[in-house]
Amino acid sequence: MTGYYDFILGLIPLSLIGVTAVLSVVGFSITSAVPLAAAIPVGLIGHALFVNSPVDDTQSPTETVDSTSSSASFDPAD
């Protein structure tokens, strides 16, 4: 199942290459088309990081794990 971040990762190179190609066809030189086109992937990355940020689920676990009651014990005499 593709999610939001999968689309962002796909759109980063597509937008950089596509907008650079469009700007170069319109008449911009490559040296000016690449930095202008790079504003779109930077905006996508900024949106993915700051507006729709990936956060962990902060709910507390329903069952706590006791570290002293493990099923496998270490015996240094073995």
| Each residue's pLDDT tens digit, 8-64 | 999 999 999 999 999 999 999 999 999 999 999 999 999 999 988 877 767 656 665
Note the pLDDT of residue 21.
97
User: How many structural domains are present in the chain?
Assistant: 1
Instruction: List, in order, residues 6 or more apart from 38 with CB less than 8 Å away.
Output: 16
Q: Is 44 helix (H, G, I), strand (E, B) or coil?
A: helix
Domain that holds residue 21: 4-51
Inform me whether the pLDDT recorded for 73 exceeds 70. no
| Alpha carbons 63 and 36: distance in angstroms, whole number | 52
On whether residue 19 sits in a domain, the answer given is yes
- pTM metric for this prediction: 0.65
**Residue 70, pLDDT above cutoff 60:** no
- 31 neighbors 23 (Cβ within 8 angstroms): no
The answer to whether residue 45 is domain-embedded is: yes
With respect to residue 31, please indicate whether it lies within any of the assigned structural domains: yes
